[in-house]
Structure 1
Amino acid sequence: MDNLFAILLLLLIGWFWLDSLRAREIAVGICQAACARHEVQLLDQAIALRHLGLSWRSEGLRLRRVYRFDFSEEGTGRRNGYLVMRGLQLEELSFGLPTRIGDA
């Protein structure tokens, strides 16, 4: 019985690790595309996991991850944005920038 529990625990850890890598890879791609669309530069070409939790919606239980990233509007300053993924789907993306008239 202990061996079965250990195997299940290892499988769960392996699934979580692979799912986290996939979610991060998708989030980086979304972030890079959004930065290009907003004409800002993604700094360090990286995002950082800030929060991990569970989200229960009508679709069921999903992992909810909040990533933070740094970007620059003109190449000199450094600003923060965040990206929220629920499962492998984008839930929210914010640059904290004012909306331009042409973007609305």
Structure 2
Amino acid sequence: MELLLIIILVAISVSWLTTMRARDRARIAVARLCKQYQLQLLDQTVALAGMKIARNPRGGLTLRRLFRFDYSEDGVTRKNGSIWMKGEQPEMITIERSEGDTIEWLSGTPKT
């Protein structure tokens, strides 16, 4: 019984640590994209909005996490964006701009 409790606590701790690392990497990726497009990342943070199980490139299981963030084009108007992380790697960032175009960054190159 105690061993099961220890295993559960270790699993929760590992999950929490990997989520915090993924959040930090998501924030860095979003900040870079905002800088590239001259946007302001508001609150300098991203927030976990959801998780699901996915396959990693080697075929193993990993968590796919959705983080949401707020940004501004003009320093006044608050807009929403999202970033999907597969494991601890950025998979896709989506930002809608006032010009009507959507920026999607897909594992390597931004697409408008």
| Structure-1-length-normalised TM-score | 0.88
**How many pairs were matched up?**
101
In 2 relative to 1, CA 5–37 (structure 1 residues): closer, same or farther, beyond 3 Å?
Answer: same
Partners of 1:19 and 1:82 lie apart in 2 by 19
CA positional deviation for 1:76: 1.3
1:19-54 Cα shifts (integer Å, max 9, x gaps): 111111111111111110110000111111111111
- Tell me if 1:74 matches 2:82: no
CA positional deviation for 1:78: 1.0
Stretches of structure 2 that go unaligned for 5 or more consecutive residues are 104-110
1:41-98 Cα shifts (integer Å, max 9, x gaps): 0011111111111113552211010011110001111111100001011110011231
1:7-26 alignment, distance < 5 Å: 7-26=6-25
CA positional deviation for 1:99: 5.8
Equivalent pair of 2:94/2:102 in contact (CA under 8 Å): no
Quick one: percent identity of the two aligned structures?
A: 37
1:25-40 alignment, distance < 5 Å: 25-40=24-39
Partners of 2:93 and 2:62 lie apart in 1 by 18
1:1-104 alignment, distance < 5 Å: 2-56=1-55, 59=58, 60-97=60-97, 98=101
Partners of 1:63 and 1:15 lie apart in 2 by 12
SS of the aligned residue for 1:50 comes to: strand
Partners of 1:94 and 1:45 lie apart in 2 by 17
Partners of 1:68 and 1:22 lie apart in 2 by 15
**What is the root-mean-square deviation of aligned Cα atoms in Å?**
1.8
| Structure-2-length-normalised TM-score | 0.82
Stretches of structure 1 that go unaligned for 5 or more consecutive residues are none
